[in-house]
Structure 1
Amino acid sequence: MADIAHRHLDSNGLRTHIAEAGSGPLVLLLHGFLNYSYSWRHQLRALADAGYHAVAPDLRGYGDTDRPDAVEEYTQLHLAGDVVGLLDALGERSAVVVGHDWGSMIAWTTALLRPDRVRGVVGLSVPYVPRGRQSLLSAMRSRFGDGYYMQYFQEAGRADRELARDVAATFRSVLYSGSASASEPWNPVVPTGGGWLDVLPDPGVLPPWLTESDLAAYVETFERTGFTGGLNWYRALDLSWELMAAWHDAPVTAPALFAYGAEDSFARYAAQLIEALPASVPDLRASLALPGCGHWVQQEKPEEVNRALLGFLNELG
C-alpha cells in the first residue's frame, strides 16, 4: 500500500501544503468546508495503488496552507486560480480534478474557466450550478430568510467564535448531523438570537465511519488554525457572483462524474439542480446516488467512492 507524504509548494502566491501518494496521471482532491486534506485519507492510497499521482491540498484558508486576511482574496476566481497554480507547481499540464462540498464548487469552476487544464471533473455532494440572475447567497436568503446559515456566516467573528468555543463538540455535531447516521434531517436555518450549532445536535458519540483518531486530527488542526479562512469563502460569495458575469449560464464541457449521498439533506434541497445537471454539464458520464450515505461521501462510503472514481478515471484513459 502506498505511503502518504507531505510537503509544501509555492503556488499562486501561497505556501500550500499537500498530502500526496503514488505516481502517474495527476488527480487533485479538493476538500470542502470544515475539512482539509485529511478528508481524502481513504482515496489517496487507493488512487496511488491504481497507478495515479493523488494530491490533496489544504486549500486557501485551511490547514497548513496560507490564510490571507482579506475576504476579497477568497473568491471563486482566487480558488480556481490556486488549482491552476498547483498544477504549475507540480509541473503538470492537466489533471482530473475531484472536489467535495465547497471543493466540488471549486472543481466545477476550474473546469469552467480552464478547460485546457482539466481532463475530467468529479463533483461530490454539490452539483454544478451555472451563474444565475442572483448570487447563491441572495437566492438562498430569498428561499429560507435571513436565518439561513450562509447569511449567519456573513458577520465577521460571530460564527468564528461559535465554532471555536469547543472544537471537539463542533466536529461531533457537524460531522454527525450531515451524515446518514443523523436521526433528523439537517436544518439550514439558524434560530433568531442563536447560533449555527444550535440546530446541529451533538450526539456525544461518533458515527461508525469516524474514529476517535479522525476526530483528534480535525480538532488538532482547527484549534491551531481557527475557522475564519473557511468562513471567508462564504463571505466572498456575492463578490464571486459579480466577477463571474462573463460566464453567466455557461456549461461545463469537460467529461464529468457526479456522486452524492442518497441520505444527504442537502441533496433534497438541491434535487432540481441535480436533475438539471445533464443540461449544464453535457458530457456528464453518470450521476450516482449512494445508498445509506449522507453528505460526507468519501468518508462515509470510501469503497463506493473509490470504485466510482477509478471507473471514471479508467474510462478517460
Structure 2
Amino acid sequence: MDSYTPELATDQIRLLTKVARMYHERGMRQPQIAAQLHISQPRVSRLLKRAVDLGIVRTTVIAPRGVYAELEEQIEQAYGLTEVIVADTEDQADEAHVMRALGAAAAVYLETTLMGGERIGVSSWSSTILATVEAMHPRPTPVADQVVQMLGGVGNVTAQTQATRIVGRLAALTGAQAVYLPAPGLLASGDMRQMFVTDPNIEPVLQAYQGLTMALVGVGSIEPSPLLRESGNAFAESELPALRGGGAVGDVCMRFFDETGTHVESAFDARVLGIAPDTLRAIPRRVAVAGGTRKTTAIRAALRGGWVNVLITDLQVARSLV
C-alpha cells in the first residue's frame, strides 16, 4: 500500500477524500459525482482506486452473529483443509440441538456445492449424516449419479432402517442411483468377510468405491454411537481395550486411527466390510459432519491424518481445534 508523501498536495488529498466519502458514505454513483464536481467519470474511478491504495478507504468485512468466518479460516490453515463450516450451536449441552444444527449446516453445504455428475460415498451408521439428509431439500435437477454405501448396512432391523434411509433419501434428493452394500459392516471373522467379498451382489459395490468423487462421513470415537451400537455392527466392549492399546482414538467408516491420524492396523480391519483406508483417503472431496465435545480428540486426529478435507462442526469443537 502506498503512503502519504510530501509530493502529494493537500488539495489532491482533499479531493480524494471528498470523492471517497461521496461514493462510500453517501452512496452516490460515479456519474453523479463527476457531474457535481465537474470532473470526468474516468477520473472519479481513478480517484476511488487511488483512495484505496493510500489507505483512505479500507474495506472491512463484519461477520453477522452466528457466522464464524475468521475461526473457519484459522482451522483451514492449521490443518490444510479445503473448507470448514462452523454451525452456530450456542447450546452445547443439548446434543439433539447440536445434531440438528450440524445436519442443517451440512444440508445447505450439499445443496450449494453439488453441481452434477458426483458419485457420493456415504457412511452407514452416522447420526449426523442421517440428520443431514433429513434436513435437505430435493434438487430440481439431478446433481449426482450414484450414492454408494461405504460400509455394510445390514444389522438390527430398527437401526438398519436408518442406514437404508441415509442412502435412499440422499439418492432421491439428488436424483442419483442408490447403491447398497447388503451385508453387515462388521463380521465375526476375517474368513466370514472373505466369503462376502466374492459374493456377486457385494463385489460390484466394493469396486464402485474406486470411482467416488465425494465421501460424506461421520467421525466416531472409540465408544460407539447409540446408532452403531444398536445396529449390532459395533466392536464388543471386551474388544475396546485392544483398540485403545493400539493407540486408537477414533474412526471413519470403522477404520481406526491414533492421535496423529495414522491408521491403526490390526486384526480388526480384516473383519470390516467396507471401503479400505487408502481408497477412502484418495477420494477428492471428503466431507465430515461431526461435533460434540466427546469427539474433539477424534475429529482433530481425523484432520491431522487427512481422512477428511472438509469439516462441518459445532462452535465448541471448532474453538478447541485452534
TM-score with structure 1 length normalisation?
0.27
Larger Rg: 2
TM-score with structure 2 length normalisation?
0.26
